[in-house]
Amino acid sequence: MYAPENAQETITWQQFEQTDIRVGTIVEVNEFPEARKPAYKLAVDLGPLGIKRSSAQITKHYTPEMLLGKQVLCVVNLGKKQIGKYISEVLVTGFEDENKDIVLAQPAAKVPNGSKLI
């Protein structure tokens, strides 16, 4: 199997296909002062999958106003994760910048909510 330098362990194509990554639009943003690291509570409209909740540590690059209406890529089949008293239903994806702050992963153009990454 192909394994580029500095890559993690190689997985099979079938394993990759099990990861369900969908696009959704952020429709609600709330501060999350109870979080250990600065974060927001998000509601993401995933079209036919409904509105799902997520906690995201994205406060360095984004204000709540900047996030409303923004499309993001979400892993929707990881199961729920409890973060304090908050239940996160999807993982909003992003990349670390040079300071290890998160920059959101987004489609280059608007696509229908719920569209699957293929």
Domains along the chain?
A: 20-104 (2.40.50.140)
What pLDDT shows up at residue 1? Answer: 40
Confidence of residue 7 (pLDDT cuts 50, 70, 90): low
Our measurement of the distance from residue 76's CA atom to the centroid of its chain's CA atoms, rounded to an integer in Å, reads 9
Mark 38-52 as b/e (b = at least 16 C-beta within 10 Å).
Answer: ebbbbbbbbeebebb
What pLDDT shows up at residue 71? Answer: 98
Lowest mean pLDDT among 19-28, 29-38, 90-99: 29-38
What pLDDT shows up at residue 9? Answer: 86
DSSP character string of 5-32 = TT------HHHHHT--EEEEEEEEEEE-
Cβ(104)–Cβ(60) below 8 Å: no
Q: Which of 102, 11, 2, 109 is nearest to 57 (CA)?
A: 102
What pLDDT shows up at residue 2? Answer: 45
